[in-house]
Amino acid sequence: MTSEIIYKGALRTEAKHLQSNTIIETDAPTDNQGKGERFSPTDLMATSLGSCMLTIMGIKARDMNVLLDGTEVSIHKKMKSEPRRVGSIDVKFNFPAHLNLDEKTKTILERAAITCPVAKSIHPDIELNVDFGWKE
């Protein structure tokens, strides 16, 4: 088992990761009757994509002796209706200014990111827009 989730009322859940006992709370978003005081479940889905991409890229970078420390990823999730669902996820990487990589290394890292398990698990109807934004 990976996690246990409890409904806390008022459209809030509490999920516990069983291996680490880490807790994540969710709220329904304000555009769907919630308070929006925590990540929504669809926020977590989109955020998982960015975190997975960066993690898999980090594994590949470590194998290549490349330091990605300080790299940031911004996520913008857009919803669709009828049925209500995630329509698209924009992923924008922001690499540290000191990172100076050749084109081959960039390509290897990009391929690692876009083939992460979460990206491969997202339904093909969800539009994924990834901007690696390498600094020149």
Respond yes or no on whether the N-terminal peptide bond of residue 124 is cis (omega within 30° of 0). no
Give the pLDDT confidence score for residue 34 in this predicted structure. Answer: 93
Provide the 3-class DSSP secondary structure of residue 49: helix
Provide the 3-class DSSP secondary structure of residue 76: strand
Give the pLDDT confidence score for residue 2 in this predicted structure. Answer: 95
Return the HEC string of 86-130. EEEEEEEEECCCCCCCCHHHHHHHHHHHHCCHHHHHCCCCCEEEE
Q: Return the bridge partners of 85, or none.
A: 80
Give the pLDDT confidence score for residue 24 in this predicted structure. Answer: 97
Domains of the chain by start residue, with CATH: 3-32 (no CATH), 41-131 (3.30.300.20)
Residue closest to 117 by CA, chosen among 54, 65, 73? 54
Where the chain has pLDDT below 70, the residues are: 135-136
Give the global pTM.
0.93
Stated length of the chain: 136
As a whole number of angstroms, the distance between CA 79 and CA 104 comes to 35
pLDDT in tens, 58-76: 999 999 999 999 999 999 9
